[in-house]
Amino acid sequence: RETFSTEVVLLNRRVLAMGQTIEKKNNEPVVTGSTATLEVEPQQAERLMVAQKSGQLTLVLRSIRDAIS
């Protein structure tokens, strides 16, 4: 039986760019992103690198409206 754990590495970072690819799924075009460029401080970049070496990173995006409220 496998054990999984999660950890939030960074919060509320600005996304500067997304690397996107268009694939077909069920004969429909689907846009996916495999890379993201984030605006971070040097210490935050170090945390990201350690997290990347430790396992799999997943980026969760929120609506731009969340930043306004």
Length of the chain: 69
Write out pLDDT tens, residues 7-18. Answer: 999 998 999 998
pLDDT of the residue at 69: 58
Q: How far is CA 40 from CA 3, 9, 67, in A?
A: 30, 12, 17
| pTM score | 0.69
Distance between CA atoms of 17 and 48, rounded to whole angstroms? 17
pLDDT score of 47 more than 70: yes
Mean pLDDT (the chain) is 88
**pLDDT tens digit string along 16-25?**
998 888 888 8
Is the per-residue pLDDT at 44 higher than 90? yes
30: amino acid identity, one letter: V
| Residue-level pLDDT at 48 | 93
